[in-house]
A and B are shown apart, each in its own frame.
Chain A
Amino acid sequence: MKLGFLVDLNLCMGCKGCEIACKVENEVPLSTWRLRVKYIDLGIFPDTSRSFTPLRCNHCESAPCERICPVSALHYLENGIVNIDSARCIGCAGCMMACPYGAIYMDPETNTADKCTYCAHRIESGMMPACVVACPVEANIFGDLEDDHSNISLYIMEHRGAVQVRKPEKHTSPTHFYVGGGNQTLNPLAHQRIEGYNLFNNITHLDHVGDKNHGILDRFLAPFVGHDALDNKSLIESATSEDSHEQEGGH
């Protein structure tokens, strides 16, 4: 069995239902994401269009994140999922440097790396990933790539020649495909990020990779003295504090 994803960008309407479903299902903390829907605007006024691209881990068959992980916290499951064992992760961030798609984040609550797991816990109990269930237009197609009769295999057959992956030049062999995409949707270098042209401007991020409340000393002391529990309020405060914008990871 080799599980895979396919997103039909012709169907995606950018509702972000999958994004929210993923956040809720996997309790993804503020300022981090496993799946996001990116909006880009194309063309020159008045001939313009908006395009939406859901982005998540590609569960690469030749995954650089798995290769670089010094303790096998990132590992393959038999069904092809690149899973992560946060209890083993040492938080070296090597995987964040290795994933060419920026799919990994440092969880601010556990101070360990995390990412989309193709909802491995749901698959195990025979359910579909949360983001697939939430999609109102069935733009997310999930299934076994080795089964010729699975939805995803049939979809790939039907659209052969038009099925793409992100950054094929990285030789990662993603098991996550797109239909209806192009250079502009899938290549981040074809995008401009111009302040003032976002739907929301001044978007900030935590000034710390991982938990701001775990300074270097806290990381050593936490097992003995504990630390204040993190909640969304403290995360918002740290994200909106005056000097947090555009700072280095500072870890």
Chain B
Amino acid sequence: MVESTIHATQAVVTLDVPIQGIVWGSIITVNMWAKSIGTGVVFLASFLWFRHSKEDMPNLKWTMPVIAFLALNVFLLFTLIDLHQPYRMVNIFLHPHWTSSITVGAWLASIFLGLVSVLMFIAVGEKFPGVPFKGCLLTKFGRNNAGLYEKIMPFLVFLAIPVTTYTAIIMAQASARELWQAPTEVMQMMWAALLAGSAALIFVSSSWTKEARKDLSLVLALSTFFSFGMYMSEYFFSFKSAEAEAILAYVHAGGSYNIEFWIGMVLGFIIPFFIAVGNMKSDNKTLLNFAALLALVGLFLVKDVWLKIPQMLPLS
């Protein structure tokens, strides 16, 4: 009988409203996931250009901004559709409240997307003169200002850091959810960006030199390793607060979130790590593409679980 199993210090709720459930759902997961790709490719491109000559990665100049542009638009689209009043998004620009990381992030991400778009117009304009159509003013502008690419790039890399990490600050500002803590979330976002950036570039790296691809494998291996390590230490050793412990105890007890979490860990971090390490010795493009795909799928699953589980806890 439950009466005799309830600890004397515990109370049983006998009349209350239902728990609200998940408010930030998978739409926000897509938002974070796509942003990781969008900023990650910028980090990776600058790293690769630092280490190798441009000829080693012949298509990087235009693939990087195109991937970033697409990913950032997915990110912004999902930000927008998550709003209950999407047209009022403009209020963030008309009535910004600067203590909010949402505001700061929206402004930075918009500037970031603007710069990425300029890079894309320049690179696509150069590479594919007839795209999207002959006489396109934007690509014409790009062709006429090709020198801007190199000038913008350092700012873009610098800006990519806060654009990657501001979501971690939003989560820290979401102080009702104790599982999301600023220092760990910031590092997790950085590793996620490197993981997603390397994975995304792997798909376009078949024409690159072996050495350049080896560097992609190296970043993928490092980012999967450290992401895994951080999640494990959070998952098993989050003694930070009673709430974080309570929510993790709930997940440890089993259920769909537990399964999703471990599938994400294995698919996203463990398998890609070993493939990437192996690939640094023997260059196997197919296997590396497979690892990149797994890493992106696994990253999504893990982020999804991490986003949702703290919302299962009753707050009052």
Contact = CB atoms under 8 A, between A and B. Distances in A.
B316 A102 contact: yes
Which of B14, B103, B106 has the most A CB atoms < 10 Å from its CB? B14
Nearest to A86: B85
B18 A205 contact: yes
A82 interface: no
16 contacts: A38-B316, A41-B11, A43-B8, A44-B3, A70-B91, A71-B96, A71-B97, A72-B95, A88-B91, A88-B95, A92-B82, A93-B82, A96-B20, A191-B13, A197-B14, A199-B14
Contacts of B18: 203-205
Contact of B89 (A41, A45, A90): A90
A212 interface: no
Interface of B: 2-4, 6, 8-25, 27, 81-89, 91-92, 95-97, 99-103, 106, 170, 173-177, 241-243, 246, 308, 311, 313-316
Contacts of B19: 193, 205
Given A41-B14, A98-B173, A102-B20, A92 B102 contact: yes
Interface residues of A, number: 76
Contacts of A248: 21-22, 25, 308
A91 B27 CA distance: 14
A101 B99 contact: no
Contact of A33 (B3, B17, B22, B97): B17
A185 B243 CA distance: 16
Given A98-B174, A199-B14, A188 B91 contact: no
A194 B12 contact: yes
Contacts of B92: 70-71, 90
A250 B21 CA distance: 9
Given A68-B101, A70-B97, 7 more contacts: A39-B15, A90-B91, A188-B315, A192-B6, A209-B23, A248-B22, A248-B25
B42 to A, nearest CB: 24
Contacts, number: 218
Contact of B2 (A42, A72, A197): A197
Contact of B96 (A70, A102, A106, A170): A70
Interface stretch (A5-13, A117-125, A216-224, A227-235): A216-224
B243 A189 contact: yes
B314 to A, nearest CB: 5
Contacts of B314: 102, 188, 191, 193
A223 B23 contact: no
A94 interface: yes
A128 interface: no
B88 A90 contact: yes
